[in-house]
Amino acid sequence: MPKPRSADNFDHDYIIIGSGFGGSVSGLRLTEKGYRVLMLEKGRELKPDDFPESNWNLKRWLWMPFLGFRGPFQMRFFRHVTVLAGAAVGGGSIVYANTLPIPKDGFFQSPTWSHLADWRMELTPYYQLARGMLGATPNPTFTPVDRIIKDVARDIGKPFEKPHVSVYFGEQGETAPDPYFGGEGPERTGCVLCGGCMLGCKHNAKNSLDKNYLYFARKLGMKLAADTEVTAVRPLPGGGYEVEALHGDRLWFRQRRVYTTRNVIFSAGVLGTVDLLLRLKADPQGLPKLSDRLGSRVRTNSESLIGVLGTKRDVNYARGIAIGSIIQTDEHSHLEPVRYPEGSNFFRTLMAPHVAGENAAVRFARMVGTMLRHPIKTVRTLLSPDINKYGIILLYMRSTEGTLRFRLGKALKLMGTGVEEGEAPQASIPEATDLAGRVSEKVEGMPYSLATETLLNIPTTAHILGGCCMGDSPETGVIDHRHRVFGYDGLYIIDGSSISANPGVNPSLTITALAERAMSMIPARPGVEPKPMITPQPPPKTGGLRRL
């Protein structure tokens, strides 16, 4: 039997695959505890000047490396869902909508994982820590879009709320010393309310992970290699793992590198982690003992994305932050207005009139009927000079159950979806359609969706979750309640794929809180004096309500 390796015989103590919310937290907390940490990220490291002015600049916005596009935003089309995700150093934090909500009680009490821990009690302190680290504050702005959403909330008798957002408001356009960590972090610039949060903030106001967790992890000694895609993880005789990766930003001219490590943390998000692990499970030299539950219990937040294009030309709906308000329609669902900046009209090329219907034939007939009944309004909205300046994107989410399963295809070995439990996700949700109709009346416009939603009823989600869910054994899950992979000592999964119930809200804060909890259970490296834990100061005051 091979002898166990000593810690000094490995290149690293931990290799972290992915730099999103789970990976960044893990990187900082492990580095604080004295471990030698290497983070591998397939995306680019982007500076403010690297972000596009609009999403028409596809090369700088989209992640399509086979075309040479290495932007921070990726779209993946599956049979049952279209997935939007991040791809850059900082993961989804670079292009997400800044919102950091805590889920309702149903999430913590879901039978899919409630037997493993008292999640509400255990995660509460980590939610608060995570919000502080990410610089969350209640949105202090009130825009024309918020007025419309507040009017709709009043019309239907539902609560109107302002979300906690990860944005530094300060004085607009003015740069100030780090306001979150006693001056030890990077400078921030007051938000200019340009609406460009989801393109990547060009103004240094968004508290993305490169300005907190990643910043301090690297400052304390963590190494990070961008443009590096992990292709294999193999157990070593006597313990530990060999990690193989391709390094470089030119797809056909990348260099192969091999690292050794005692531990590996998978934090590449559902699209990255599940895909990689499915391939490793199929490889006899990889990780064939992974649970057969791998790829199971994949869920979305049951979203419906609807763009309402108005006919008024004396307004500007593009000013503000990505998400500035919420209607809580009931305990399980809510509506948020979402924005892109002026000129970012790429999604116009993928849109079709939004209609409800139980099958494609009905939806197609209703779409044609709508256009024939309202020809002038259809033409005016379709020819809108700017769909963001004169329109409003609506994001409806709910926490209903129903799961998919990811698996590799037999021929091309590409990851695909199948329905596992309940109904397949639906793009046509009656309440979402009703709310879009109410907003349409107020902006004198029409609702539109992606053509895949209108014609095929395939929903779009920015919150794909699961695939590596928790259980009490390999028969019920891929990992245990401490994120340890069943069957492999030293492997962890800490990202959206480990979320084991439907939060019904943006999951970024929950992933961060779960990562903080998981890291709290790992002791300091033996024989090394741990560094003081980085904790935030009270967030800066944002002043009074700012009306636009």
Residue whose C-alpha is closest to residue 421's, from 404, 406, 398, 444: 404
Residue in 334, 463, 481, 483 annotated catalytic: 463
- Does the active-site annotation cover 463? yes
- 464/344 Cα distance (integer angstroms): 24
166 SS3 class: coil
Helix ranges (DSSP H) in 187-274: 213-219, 269
- 268/520 Cα distance (integer angstroms): 21
Torsion angle defined by CA atoms of residues 21, 499, 43 and 257, in that order, rounded to the nearest 10 degrees = 100
Place of tokens 């009074």: 544
For residue 350 the two structure tokens come to 């993928």
**Helices (H) then strands (E): counts for the chain:** 13, 29
Report DSSP letters for 357-401, one per residue. Answer: -SSHHHHHHHHHHHHHHSHHHHHHHHT-S-TTTSEEEEEEEE---
Type of residue found at 41: E
8 A C-beta contact, residue 475 and residue 344: no
- 359/428 Cα distance (integer angstroms): 10
Q: Could you report how far apart the first and last alpha carbons of the chain are, in Å? A: 70
- 100/134 Cα distance (integer angstroms): 9
Type of residue found at 548: L
Antiparallel, parallel or unpaired: β 37-40 and 12-17: parallel
What is the C-alpha R_g of the chain? 23
Catalytic residue numbers, as ranges: 463
